[in-house]
Chains A and B, each alone.
Chain A
Amino acid sequence: MSHRVRVNPISCEAHGMCAELLPERVTLDEWGYPVVDETPLHGSQVEHAMRAARACPTFALLVERERERARR
């Protein structure tokens, strides 16, 4: 089951923690909001990504399983 990183753009307040903690997946745009690589995470990155998600002050960084995304 593959995982992907996604941002809830409504919750996001551009704290930028995600880019600090997950630079391999997240860069910041010129206003400080995350630009996220949404391709599937490698197995070894999942736990790392989840740590970054837990550290987000507004819980706007999400690590979603494929099944959840299929419903979109």
Chain B
Amino acid sequence: MSGSAPTIAERIPDYEPASAAALPRLLSGIRPRGPLPLDEHVEVHGQLPSAAGRGRRRAREHAGMLIEEIERAGLLGRGGAGFPTATKMRAVAGRRRRAIVVANGAEGEPASLKDRTLLESLPHLVLDGAILAAEAVGADELVVCVCESADTGIGSVAGAIEERAASGERSPALRLAPVPSHYVAGQESALVNYLSGGPAKPTFTPPMPFEQGVRGRPTLVDNVETLAHVALIARHGASWFRELGTPSQPGSALVTLSGAVAHPGVYEIEHGASLSSLVTAAGGATARVRGALLGGYAGSWVSGQLLNGVALSNEHLAPHGASLGAGVVLLLSEQACPVAETARLARWLADQSTRQCGPCVHGLDALAGTIEELAAGIAGARVAQRIDQLASLVARRGACGHPDGALRPILSAVQVFQAEFADHARHGPCAACARPVELPLPERPVSDASNREARR
């Protein structure tokens, strides 16, 4: 995947931009500041589709119909893994014990702001989806998890829960849970562990959360954007949902665009939209782009030379070894050094280990050390083999997906920025190494969430 690869422009089916009326969906009614109140939310989207109030049996039939509708819609989870939502719901609904639904807004990924944006600005859409999901799987308890450092999001969800209670809107037992902000805390089993009274660290599976989740009960853990889509599918149906997106990845998606772009922020796109249309909507690039990190810090790099041919859907990104993940699109400018950035990122990823599994603790640390040495030009001649060896010692050997996720941006950087890595291995730091860093890591946030631009 070097510069010699042909651009893939000709392999992308002609992209017809969605009609102006089709978007936004999720971001309809969003205000420049502050949450959309319940009455205005109902004005924009209509009432919560009814299920209860018609006897328990009718309610259960209705709930089963919602899962079928979600299956027909082809909704895939928006937390990064892209697992079919209906399959997950069915697994939870099929268990004997009473289920619990967890709306996952932990969003520990530093380059992602989309879940925070939804919770801050459109909490009722998330709550609608969570309540519908709870009804669909027969849950009597609903927990909305928000990153404990997201003060605005916590305030707006708490306010929305109060508004609902005051309005008498139907809901299962609904509570807000601020959760630790570290990177791996949002991992499904870590969240379940935390909500059961343990540390926010992943557990060994099986049992999976759908079998034994929070306090041993079957638990549906869905990303908050996924639930917001559920709220819209319940209102408008599967065919409507499929009017946007690609056949294998239908619908719209929230992306967090940052880096070398005029207006970084959260945008709603349809799957399959070209990256260039997104960058144009964000006011264009502010510099020549050396590469794009797609899918965030568990995602992969695509070379800047290929960006004009890139469409934002997993089938279009697969030839690049990339995927959209949780919707992070990060543009690295030509000013930045991809080797220095990768060394920083590798160290940060190693530090995010919850230090439970040996291969993750030792392997990611050794890999970060090797990349740091390479960036400094002191790694020795066999550094490429050493990177491969460490990658094979890390891959698929953790209890959770963190070690595998961490390998992706590191290994894809080594491939995509081959020339830069070779140059550093031989000659050490380059002129760009001294320039300000670009990848947002916690000591240098991507942007103030209250200044974000959420639009389109």
* A residues lining the B interface (CB < 8 Å): 8-14, 29-33, 35, 68, 71-72
Contact = CB atoms under 8 A, between A and B. Distances in A.
B393 A10 contact: no
Contacts of B202: 10
B206 A14 contact: no
Given A8-B399, A9-B356, A9-B359, A30 B393 contact: yes
Given A9-B398, A10-B399, A71-B211, 9 more contacts: A9-B358, A9-B359, A10-B204, A10-B356, A14-B358, A29-B359, A29-B393, A33-B362, A72-B208
A15 B360 CA distance: 17
A72 B357 contact: no
A34 B104 CA distance: 33
Nearest to A12: B358
29 contacts: A8-B204, A8-B399, A9-B357, A9-B358, A9-B359, A9-B360, A9-B398, A10-B203, A10-B204, A10-B356, A10-B357, A10-B399, A12-B357, A12-B358, A13-B358, A29-B359, A30-B393, A31-B358, A31-B359, A31-B362, A32-B358, A33-B358, A33-B359, A33-B397, A35-B397, A68-B206, A71-B206, A71-B208, A72-B208
Interface centre among B208, B358, B393 (most CB of A within 10 A): B358
Contacts of A72: 205-206, 208
A11 to B, nearest CB: 7
Contacts of B204: 8-11
Contacts of B211: 71
Contacts of B393: 29-30, 35
A9 B206 contact: no
Contacts of B206: 68, 71-72
Which 9 residue pairs spanning A and B have beta carbons closest together?
A9-B357, A33-B358, A31-B362, A10-B356, A8-B204, A10-B399, A10-B204, A9-B399, A29-B393
Nearest to B211: A71
A71 B209 CA distance: 12
B123 to A, nearest CB: 34
A29 B393 CA distance: 7
A21 B397 CA distance: 21
A8 B204 CA distance: 7
A62 B202 CA distance: 19
Contacts of B362: 30-31, 33
Contacts of A11: 204
Nearest to A7: B397
A17 to B, nearest CB: 15
Interface string B391-420: 001000111000000000000000000000
Contacts of A9: 204, 356-360, 397-399
B364 to A, nearest CB: 12
A72 B399 CA distance: 12
Contacts of B208: 71-72
Nearest to A14: B358
Interface in B185-210: 202-206, 208
A2 B189 CA distance: 28
B306 to A, nearest CB: 35
A29 B358 CA distance: 10
A9 B356 CA distance: 7
Contacts of A71: 206, 208, 211
A32 B211 CA distance: 33
A32 to B, nearest CB: 8
A14 to B, nearest CB: 6
Nearest to A30: B393
A29 B363 CA distance: 10
Which residue, of A8, A9, A30, A72, has the highest number of chain B Cβ atoms within 10 A? A9
A63 to B, nearest CB: 15
A26 to B, nearest CB: 13
Nearest to A8: B204
Which of B205, B357, B363 has the most CB atoms of chain A within a 10 A radius of its CB?
A: B357
A68 B358 CA distance: 24
A38 B108 CA distance: 32
A29 B357 CA distance: 13
A62 to B, nearest CB: 9
Interface in B264-300: none
Contacts of B397: 9, 33, 35
Contacts of B398: 9
